[in-house]
Amino acid sequence: MTAGRAMRRAAGRVDARGRVAVAVIGAYLVLAIAAPLLITPADLSAVGAPGAPHLPPSARFPLGTDVYGRSMLAVTVWGTRVSLTVGLSATAVAIGVGAVAGIVAGHFRGRLVAVLMHVTDWFLAMPTLVLAAVLTGVLRPGAGPVVLAIGLTSWPATARLVRAQTLVVEAQPHVDRAKVLGAGHWHVIRHHVLAAVAPLIVVQASLTVSAAVLTEATLAFLGQADPIVVSWGTTLQQARDAGSVSAGHWWILFPPGAAIVVLGLAFTECGRAVQRALRVGPWEHP
Amino acid sequence: MRPGGAAGATGGAVGTPLNLLEVRGLTVTYLTQTAPLPTLDKVDLDVATGECVGLFGESGAGKTTLALALLRLLPRTATVSGSVHLDGVDVTNTTWGRLRALRWKAASIVFQGATQALNPVQRVGGQIEEPILLHERSSGTIARSRAAALLRQVGLPPAAAGAYPHELSGGERQRALIAMALACDPRLVVADEPTTALDTVRQAQILDLITGLVTGHGRAMLLISHDLRLLSSTCDRIAVMHAGRIVEEGTPAEVCAGGRHPQTRALLTAHTRIRALRHRHRPRPPSPAGHVGVPVLAADDLVVIHPARRGRNVRAVDGVRLDLAAGEIVAVVGESGCGKTTLARALVGMHPPTGGEIRVDGVPLRPTGPWLRAHRRRVQLVLQDPGSALDPRHTVYDAVAEGLRIHRLRPPGGEPAAVAAALVRAGLQAPETFFGRYPQELSGGLRQRVVIAGALILQPRVLIADEPVSSLDAAARADVLTLLLDLRDRSGLAALVISHDLELAWSIADRVAVMYLGRIIEVGPAQQVLGSPAHPYTAALLAAMPQPFTPLAATLDGEPPRTSSLPGGCRFHPRCPVLLTGTADAAGIGHACRTVEPEPLPAVGPAVACHYAAAEHRS
């Protein structure tokens, strides 16, 4: 398919910065998948923790122990799973809804489309954190409401961008030509619009993951996540509640914080690199 | 005193009488992703004060690059060497601040496409004031009055200052662009194909205006065009450009006398002369009995109305009857905005008609999915710009096979064989070598052949071509036109060619229909309509064609009225020379011209929608 071909050609043009970012994301993914092989449930038990609380880094616990006495290394590695799961599934929701809404709004005309764009604006105005707080309050706490909240508030940006690009493509004579050849909506969307919009979607997806990871950590830090599930945000929240900041227990605060920053940066850089490779949107001049 | 004048005086004091513009050894190379693209090669060119110099060459010769280089407007991907002295200042290495002062004040440019060169969201008056405010730091009131004076000079009403570009017609926009170029009283005006998109009447009007305003006021002009006759009738000197070099320079008489350079001769002979029978390619004898049998494509009292949000609806096509027989090429000619493109789009089913009927092989077209789908296998459209008519992400193979895939056709010999056959029919030999290539890698002429191949693969009965060659250079043009004739002769394909180019109609059309404000006003065999036009409008279009060494004559005044507010009576009467000179009144039909709308013409013709021509014919 033409969209795939364009993406493959672009992949060859990704620069060194982008390759580093992709490697970092790959490392996170490997860690998240391999985590159950390296860490047993006993390592993460808050009740039967392997060590004493608040131990500084040592040979046994290279990153020290957290407020319950668990190894910070194990906690941080395990936290990757939640961050990536929530980040990627929220992005899937946001990009899926956004791309479909954007293409539909760009391709079709009429009253329904106008309504759709108003709905988009309405969601655009909705604050993520407040919606998430409400959803977690109404539903049971866990990853589901967080994914839903991030997904529901991130799709309008994608929808707007995709709609704009769709309008640009459809104004071009080659779409007229396809219509004269007899093409229906589905053919125009699949063979002409999608190929032109795909790069934009990839860039947007990569940037959305980074935002979603940050939002997930923020929500957990604010206590809107399931406290039993080990994640970077909850670890930070528990550390703050236990007074780690004033006690100077930096080893509890630093690993999850750094993990969030590096993962967020990696996805942002990856998105920018694809953008540069495809020359879509405002890329940076060298 | 002008700052430029001071610089010129210094140049004179050193003892070298500097010309207003001196280009020396100018070489420009564009860096592209694949290989450097040399565009200008050691160009030397002088323009003295008060002189009008023509720059002639086909598209791609580097004319526009030269124009942009004069004010250092080239993109960053261009590497420039050599020098451009404008008013004594070397533009290529002067400071940024000095350059900004020179731009528009020493030299200004009338750009090619008036639509793109004007900002669509700013009023015309404001855009004319902008350079005045930038350069002279004068007050808003002064700038406004200057802008009003400029508008008056270019023949626009004062109200045009408050209009947005889309509210003006093509000719009016071009006038506004000229007013803009003159805003800072520049010493040199560069006009880059200022009239290419306009019909012959407006072309004559605009060139008349621009030469009067520029050379009449001691300014110099560099006029860029691909039409040698036009340059020979306006310029003092002509430079011929080919492949980035100036290959010849001389007076119009010298250049037109045959040209010393073989390239000039080749470009000269590429011109078509209307009424010259040898310039008609393979004409068919007109069948005196009109059409035999059912026409392949027929429009019957077709009306297309564009609804307007405010004001009155635009009647883009207003009662058109037109037949197309198998193996016939019909040209619809008319100025931009006359509704010919809307007619083409309605005929291929892209625009639902408001009234009337379209028939293919006698079967009326219904505006529902399956009917349209079937219609589109029989009637195909070839668009103006083959560059944008092909999806840059599709290979040639995918583009040509698209029609088959849309209609889920399985040709007997397999898809690759069908694609290859279509490419061969479109004149591309060794078709397999094109399969994997992308349109960007092909020249304009080859791309247009790919577009035609994509249309032919569905084995249509009719090709509708909207300005099929206007974006191509002379050689590619001839190729594509020959292809259309080949298709007509070999497979009996009918073609409707939409164009504002009368020469194109003369060279290939069997019949010509002239359109004015949504209606066909004259139709008949090409030799009759273009050879001895009966309608005053057709005659005016033909008389305004540029002739070598003859000053251009604007044969009509003013602009056509908007289709949203048609005049009563004959729609041409407010501009009709026959009526304005009193000839019609003398013949006793002036009243009819003003009050009675001529009947729509029959589909085949020859016929003319003019009271005066009809009365002449009777007597």
Taking CA atoms, A250 is separated from A64, A153, A229, A262, in Å, by 10, 33, 22, 18
pLDDT (0 to 100) of residue B11: 39
Q: If you measure CA to CA, which chain B residue comes closest to A170?
A: B391
What is the location of CATH 3.40.50.300 in chain B? Answer: 20-106+189-210+219-271, 297-515
Tokens of residue B269, six digits: 């002979």
Is the pLDDT reported for residue B288 higher than 50?
no
Bridge partner residues of B29 (DSSP): B38, B79
Is the pLDDT reported for residue B271 higher than 70?
no
B458 contacts in chain A (CB < 8 Å): 181-182
Q: Which residues in B have their CB inside 8 Å of a CB on A?
A: 348-350, 369, 372-373, 376-377, 380-381, 383-385, 388-391, 393-394, 398, 402-403, 405-407, 451, 454-455, 458
B377 contacts in chain A (CB < 8 Å): 182
pLDDT (0 to 100) of residue B617: 74
The residue of A2, A174, A186 whose CB has the most chain B CBs within 10 angstroms, and thus the best one to mutate to test that interface, is A174
Nearest to A173 among B369, B377, B388 (CB): B388
Is the pLDDT reported for residue A27 higher than 90?
yes
A276 touches B at CB < 8 Å? no
Mean pLDDT, chain B, as a whole number? 82
A138 touches B at CB < 8 Å? no
- A25-34, A133-142, A192-201 — which is least confidently predicted? A133-142
Mean pLDDT (whole number) for B597-616? 82
pLDDT (0 to 100) of residue A26: 94
Mean pLDDT (whole number) for B182-196? 86
Is the pLDDT reported for residue B471 higher than 60?
yes
pLDDT (0 to 100) of residue A284: 35
Model confidence at B6, in pLDDT bands (50, 70, 90)? very low
Contact check, Cβ <8 Å, B406/A182: yes
| Cβ count within 10 A of residue B366 | 14
Contact check, Cβ <8 Å, B406/A187: yes
pLDDT tens by residue, A158-178: 999 999 999 988 888 889 888
- B139-143, B468-472, B482-486 — which is least confidently predicted? B468-472
A173 touches B at CB < 8 Å? yes
Mean pLDDT (whole number) for B312-317? 79
Mean pLDDT (whole number) for B504-508? 88
pLDDT (0 to 100) of residue A10: 67
pLDDT (0 to 100) of residue B94: 85
- A41-45, B269-273, B389-393, B409-413 — which is least confidently predicted? B269-273
A9 touches B at CB < 8 Å? no
Task: Answer for the pair B216, B50: CB distance below 8 angstroms, yes or no.
Answer: no
Is the pLDDT reported for residue A202 higher than 80?
yes
Q: What is the largest CA-CA distance in chain A?
A: 75
pLDDT (0 to 100) of residue B318: 87
Q: If you measure CA to CA, which chain B residue comes closest to A6?
A: B393
The structure tokens 């750009």 sit at B111
Nearest to A174 among B350, B391, B407 (CB): B391
A180 touches B at CB < 8 Å? yes
Instruction: Give the closest residue to B93 by CA, choosing from B103, B101, B84.
Output: B84
pLDDT (0 to 100) of residue B61: 80
The residue of B34, B393, B396 whose CB has the most chain A CBs within 10 angstroms, and thus the best one to mutate to test that interface, is B393
A191 secondary structure, DSSP code: I
Length, in residues, of chain A: 286
Q: How many A-B residue pairs are in contact by the CB < 8 A criterion?
A: 67
Model confidence at A139, in pLDDT bands (50, 70, 90)? confident
Task: Answer for the pair A131, A153: CB distance below 8 angstroms, yes or no.
Answer: yes
pLDDT tens by residue, B486-496: 888 888 899 99
Instruction: Give the closest residue to A47 by CA, choosing from A222, A226, A228.
Output: A228
B341 contacts in chain A (CB < 8 Å): none
Mean pLDDT (whole number) for B538-553? 80
A179 touches B at CB < 8 Å? yes
pLDDT (0 to 100) of residue B267: 66
Rounded (10°) CA dihedral B47, B50, B51, B52: 110
Mean pLDDT (whole number) for B221-233? 85
Nearest to B458 among A173, A181, A187 (CB): A181
pLDDT (0 to 100) of residue A281: 42
B380 contacts in chain A (CB < 8 Å): 180-181
Mean pLDDT comparison of A53-57, A162-166, B589-593, highest-scoring range? A162-166
**Domains in chain A, please, with CATH?**
2-41+66-278 (1.10.3720.10)
ipTM: 0.73
Mean pLDDT, chain A, as a whole number? 86
| SS3 of residue A164 by DSSP | helix
B369 contacts in chain A (CB < 8 Å): 184
Mean pLDDT (whole number) for A45-53? 80
Tell how strand B511-516 and strand B494-499 pair up.
unpaired
pLDDT (0 to 100) of residue B421: 92
Taking CA atoms, B489 is separated from B18, B284, B411, B486, B492, in Å, by 59, 10, 24, 5, 6
Model confidence at A42, in pLDDT bands (50, 70, 90)? confident
A174 contacts in chain B (CB < 8 Å): 388-391
- B7-11, B147-151, B322-326 — which is least confidently predicted? B7-11
- Pairwise pLDDT comparison (B387 vs B528), residue with the higher score: B528
Fold of B20-106+189-210+219-271: Rossmann fold (3.40.50)
pLDDT (0 to 100) of residue B353: 87
Model confidence at B615, in pLDDT bands (50, 70, 90)? confident
Closest CA of chain A from B194, distance in Å = 25
Taking CA atoms, A86 is separated from A15, A81, A146, A152, B216, in Å, by 28, 8, 7, 13, 74
Q: If you measure CA to CA, which chain B residue comes closest to A3?
A: B393
- A60-69, A89-98, B366-375, B389-398 — which is least confidently predicted? B366-375
pLDDT tens by residue, B64-108: 889 888 888 888 888 889 999 988 888 888 888 888 888 888 888
Nearest to A181 among B388, B393, B402 (CB): B402
A173 contacts in chain B (CB < 8 Å): 383-385, 388-389
pLDDT (0 to 100) of residue A283: 35
Is the pLDDT reported for residue B137 higher than 60?
yes
Nearest to B348 among A172, A180, A187 (CB): A180
Taking CA atoms, B138 is separated from B1, B2, B127, B128, B186, in Å, by 16, 15, 15, 13, 17
Q: If you measure CA to CA, which chain A residue comes closest to B399?
A: A178
- CATH architecture, range B297-515: 3-Layer(aba) Sandwich (3.40)
Q: If you measure CA to CA, which chain A residue comes closest to B452?
A: A177
Q: What is the rounded radius of gyration, in angstroms, for the C-alpha atoms of chain A? A: 22
pLDDT (0 to 100) of residue A69: 85
Model confidence at A279, in pLDDT bands (50, 70, 90)? low
B420/B401 Cα distance (integer angstroms): 10
Model confidence at A269, in pLDDT bands (50, 70, 90)? very high
pLDDT (0 to 100) of residue A103: 94
